[in-house]
């Protein structure tokens, strides 16, 4: 049976090193611990993992965690073990010894969390194994993978509902990426249509700065963005494998530590990149979306898109890999009309049913609306997920509002040029007509005699590029694959063409584009920066020695708090967020030595109480004992309690002399007992 909320807070502090829950966590932990079926939608970096890891320690039996990627599972298991939690994973990446260790822990009843990939559920023995293990709860990470029409669909996620029925245990599903359609699908596929206890804690990541730019030499733009963040961990997403390799090479030539990652690489090479990224500070990975959900590094400071993402959900998930530690993070997304045309054609050429293609065009339109937003980007992004009343101040359009103009006349001219050329030509030819450029192609087709020839001389080529890009973004025209990418008008454009509607456009064409890239934000003050660097160096050395990702030792937020508060004792160190009892015992001295030049000397019995109320109580008992070492009159034979006896008194708080006697014995109780009881009474 689950234990009370006091036990939850105790585990939160002692095991995970946090004094309090993040917003929304406590209610979810309570529901999961109680045994409710739960669906929790939480922003990336909002602490989803804790919402099933902590209940696993409060509940009897084993919690099986279905997670999509091996790298993610292995990192979470390592982090749990560092916190003293008995956890294991059964994956295809296990060594024989690792698998035997997990089976031994199951047979001996030691395991509390067992991580498995959904593909393993297809094996005949999976259900038998989980029954034998005594599974009492199923936790599903990245639950949106169950959606057959989602961008991260994993067919084996469809087996999880069957597993829940077979084991007859509660299920808790977690995701950060789910619109209403996907949420409904999760309920059907995982909960047989019976509504679970649901928590929707918003999609906002206020620490992430949002920015978009029209493409203008994308390589130069990405290099400039990375140069301002040199030494910070980052990800650059590209649309093609070839581009990841060339851009990674360009970053290395520019002095960065960078490598590429894509699905065409050998498995060992991909694992090497994943390991390097987790363990190295300041590494940039240039990747396709294959570098996906397994990225759980909390101190990624920036994400750039060299090409437009596939959908608004994909964009949200990919930028969400930055700033998971809550620290400031930045994003830059580049886009151009070629991106838009490619995404449109991919949807149109999809074998999906017509209604699904329409829905995919709608998702792309939402992303393009974000790219071409005329006001706050965060308001636009969160509005897609149904959130209103958004406060931002952390996007490029809040930094510098967009310059707008009435684009009705320009759009009507562009639409007219399309219709008069029978919608058989692409943007370049249409711009030549509008600007009155009598090219060989224009003259050969007699288009220099059209009424629209030269009517757009008031705008430059760059400005016309921006007009067409925004028309594509607003779905006023689409490339026609049967006419080799020629632009054709959509029904949405008819009211503008007929003068029944107007349209406002942004005036940030390529030849007017602003550098919306904000300066990199410092993580700490200039005064604390050298200490933070020293703490990171110590963390890196310990991580390399233990062969674990650096953040498994301590994450950046914890090191920043150390640098800013500069604790001088283990008690003070224990009050730093993220420093639990196990990590204090393992690493406290090493980091105190970095901060103060030497470690604190403390008896092991007192060390175990560091950061707890019992620790301060131990210190007061020690002071009282010193005053009574030779009795009340100072003339008696010296006598003292052992450190372990003082620790037992501080922890158990005996309420009378008889109870004290059972800890200290007759002689010590006679000398110290009454005074110790006075100290204990003062502390109540």
Band of pLDDT at residue 307, cut at 50, 70 and 90: very high
Tell me the three state secondary structure of residue 175. strand
d(CA 247, CA 264) in angstroms, rounded, equals: 16
Q: What is the pLDDT of residue 65?
A: 95
Provide the pLDDT confidence category of residue 302 given band limits of 50, 70 and 90: very high
pLDDT at 654 over 70: yes
Q: For domain 404-512, which architecture applies? A: Orthogonal Bundle (1.10)
600: pLDDT strictly greater than 60: no
Asked if the model's pLDDT at residue 292 lies above 70, the reply is no
Q: What is the pLDDT of residues 415-443, one digit of tens each?
A: 999 999 999 898 889 999 999 999 988 99
**Under CATH, domain 5-200 is a member of which superfamily?**
P-loop containing nucleotide triphosphate hydrolases (3.40.50.300)
Classify residue 491 by its DSSP letter.
G
Q: With a cut of 60, say whether residue 598 has pLDDT above it.
A: no
Q: Facing residues of 329 across strands?
A: 208
Q: Identify the CATH class of 529-600.
A: mainly alpha
pLDDT range class, residue 254, cuts 50, 70, 90? very high
How high is the pLDDT of residue 680? 87
- CATH fold of 613-683 reads DNA polymerase; domain 1 (1.10.150)
Q: What's the Rg (C-alpha) of the chain?
A: 31
| pLDDT score recorded for residue 511 | 39
Distance CA 457, CA 410 (A): 11
Q: What is the β-pairing status of strands 477-480 and 302-305? A: unpaired
Mean pLDDT of 317-343: 87
Per CATH, 404-512 and 613-683 having the same topology is answered no
Better-scored residue on pLDDT, 32 or 639: 32
Percent of the chain whose pLDDT exceeds 90: 32
CATH superfamily of 208-376: P-loop containing nucleotide triphosphate hydrolases (3.40.50.300)
- In this predicted structure, the answer to whether residue 515 has a pLDDT above a threshold of 50 is no
Residue 345 has pLDDT above 80, yes or no: no
Distance CA 45, CA 27 (A): 17
Instruction: Tell me the torsion sign for CA atoms 671, 675, 681, 684.
Output: negative
pLDDT at 640: 82
Q: What is the mean pLDDT of residues 553-564?
A: 88
Q: Is the pLDDT score of 513 beyond 60?
A: no
Q: List the domain boundaries for the chain.
A: 5-200, 208-376, 404-512, 529-600, 613-683
pLDDT per residue over 118-131, tens digit each? 888 888 788 888 98
Q: Give 414 or 578, the one with higher predicted confidence.
A: 414
Under 8 Å between Cβ of 175 and 186: yes
Q: Count the helices and strands in the chain (H runs, E runs).
A: 31, 18
Q: Is the pLDDT of residue 643 over 60?
A: yes
Confidence of residue 597 (pLDDT cuts 50, 70, 90): low
Identify which of 175-189, 239-253, 652-666 has the greatest average pLDDT. 239-253
Q: Is the pLDDT of residue 512 over 60?
A: no
- The CA–CA distances, whole Å, from 78 to 71, 94, 560, 609, 623 equal 11, 13, 22, 25, 41
pLDDT of residue 112: 95
E-strand ranges in 72-125 read: 87-90, 113-116
Indicate the range of 188-192, 377-381, 386-390, 506-510 predicted with least confidence: 506-510
In this predicted model, which residue has the larger pLDDT, 85 or 601?
85
Residue 411 binned pLDDT confidence (cut-offs 50, 70, 90): very high
Give yes or no for residue 471 having a pLDDT over 80: yes
pLDDT per residue as tens digits for the range 377-410: 999 998 888 788 888 989 999 998 988 889 999 9
Whether 462 shows a pLDDT value over 80: the answer reads: yes
Indicate the SS3 state at residue 350. Answer: coil
The band of 270, judged by pLDDT with boundaries at 50, 70 and 90, is: confident
Residue, of 88 and 684, whose pLDDT is higher? 88
Structure token digits, residue 264: 């065409």
Which alpha helices (H) appear in 547-601, and where do they start and end?
550-553, 556-565, 570-574, 581-596
Indicate the pLDDT class of residue 481, thresholds 50, 70 and 90: low
- Give the number of other Cβ atoms within 10 Å of residue 322's Cβ: 30
- Between 517 and 34, name the one with better pLDDT: 34
Cβ neighbors of 267 (< 8 A, separation 6 or more) are none
Phi, psi of 68 (to 5 degrees): -80, -25
The rounded distance, in Å, linking the Cα atoms of 28 and 34 is 10
Residue 516 has pLDDT above 50, yes or no: no
């Amino acid at each position: 049976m689950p234990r009370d909320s006091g036990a939850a807070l105790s585990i939160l502090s002692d095991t995970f090193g946090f004094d309090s829950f993040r917003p929304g966590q406590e209610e979810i932990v309570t529901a999961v611990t109680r045994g409710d079926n739960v669906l929790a939608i939480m922003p990336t970096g909002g602490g989803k993992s804790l919402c099933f890891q902590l209940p696993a320690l409060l509940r009897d039996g084993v919690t099986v965690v279905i997670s999509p990627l091996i790298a993610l599972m292995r990192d979470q298991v390592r982090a749990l073990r560092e916190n003293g939690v008995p956890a294991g994973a059964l994956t295809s990446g296990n060594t024989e010894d690792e698998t035997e260790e997990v089976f031994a822990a199951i047979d001996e009843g030691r395991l509390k969390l067992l991580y498995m990939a959904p593909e393993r559920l297809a094996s005949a023995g999976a259900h038998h194994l989980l029954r034998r293990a005594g599974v009492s709860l199923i936790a599903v990470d990245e639950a949106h993978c169950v959606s057959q029409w989602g961008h991260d669909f994993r067919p084996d996620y469809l087996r999880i509902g069957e597993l829940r029925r077979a084991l007859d245990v509660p299920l808790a599903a977690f995701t950060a990426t789910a619109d209403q359609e996907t949420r409904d699908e999760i309920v059907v596929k995982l909960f047989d249509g019976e509504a679970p206890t649901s928590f929707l804690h918003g999609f906002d990541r206020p620490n992430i700065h949002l920015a978009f730019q029209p493409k203008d030499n994308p390589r130069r733009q990405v290099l400039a963005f990375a140069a301002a963040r040199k030494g910070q961990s980052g990800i650059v997403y590209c649309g093609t494998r070839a581009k990841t390799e060339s851009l990674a090479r360009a970053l290395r030539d520019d002095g960065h530590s960078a490598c590429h990652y894509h699905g065409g690489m050998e498995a060992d090479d991909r694992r090497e990149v994943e390991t390097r990224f987790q363990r190295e500070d300041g590494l940039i990975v240039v990747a396709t979306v294959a570098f996906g959900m397994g990225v759980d590094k909390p101190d990624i400071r920036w994400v750039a898109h060299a090409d437009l993402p596939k959908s608004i959900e994909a964009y949200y998930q990919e930028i969400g890999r930055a700033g998971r530690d809550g620290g400031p993070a930045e994003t830059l997304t580049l886009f151009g009309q070629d991106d838009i045309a490619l995404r449109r054609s991919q949807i149109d050429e999809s074998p999906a049913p017509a209604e699904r293609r329409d829905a995919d065009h709608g998702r792309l339109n939402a992303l393009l609306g974000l790219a071409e937003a005329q006001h706050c980007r965060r308001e636009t992004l969160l509005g897609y997920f149904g959130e209103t009343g958004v406060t931002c101040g952390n996007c490029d359009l809040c930094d510098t509002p967009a310059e707008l103009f009435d684009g009705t006349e320009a759009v009507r001219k562009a639409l007219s040029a399309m219709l008069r050329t029978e919608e058989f030509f692409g943007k370049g030819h249409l711009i030549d007509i509008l600007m009155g450029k009598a090219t060989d192609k224009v003259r050969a087709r007699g288009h220099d005699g059209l009424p629209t020839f030269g009517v757009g001389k008031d705008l430059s080529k760059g400005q016309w590029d921006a007009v067409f890009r925004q028309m594509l973004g607003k779905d006023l025209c689409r490339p026609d694959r049967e006419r080799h990418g020629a632009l054709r008008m959509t029904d949405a454009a008819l009211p503008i063409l007929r003068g029944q509607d107007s349209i406002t456009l942004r005036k940030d064409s390529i030849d007017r584009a602003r550098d919306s890239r904000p300066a990199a934000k410092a993580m700490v003050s200039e005064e604390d920066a050298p200490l933070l660097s020293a703490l990171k160096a110590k963390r890196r050395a310990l991580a390399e020695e233990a062969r674990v990702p650096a953040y498994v030792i301590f994450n950046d937020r914890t090191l920043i708090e150390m640098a800013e508060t500069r604790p001088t004792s283990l008690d003070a160190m224990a009050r730093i967020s993220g420093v639990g009892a196990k990590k204090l015992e393992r690493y406290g001295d090493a980091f105190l030595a970095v901060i103060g030049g030497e470690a604190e000397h403390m008896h092991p019995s007192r060390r175990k109480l560091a950061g707890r109320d019992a620790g301060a109580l131990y210190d007061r008992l020690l002071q009282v004992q010193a005053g009574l070492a030779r009795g009340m009159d100072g003339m008696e034979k010296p006598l003292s309690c052992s450190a372990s006896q003082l620790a037992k008194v501080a922890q158990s708080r005996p309420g009378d002399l008889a109870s004290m006697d059972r800890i200290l014995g007759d002689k010590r109780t006679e000398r110290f007992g009454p005074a110790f009881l006075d100290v204990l009474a003062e502390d109540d």
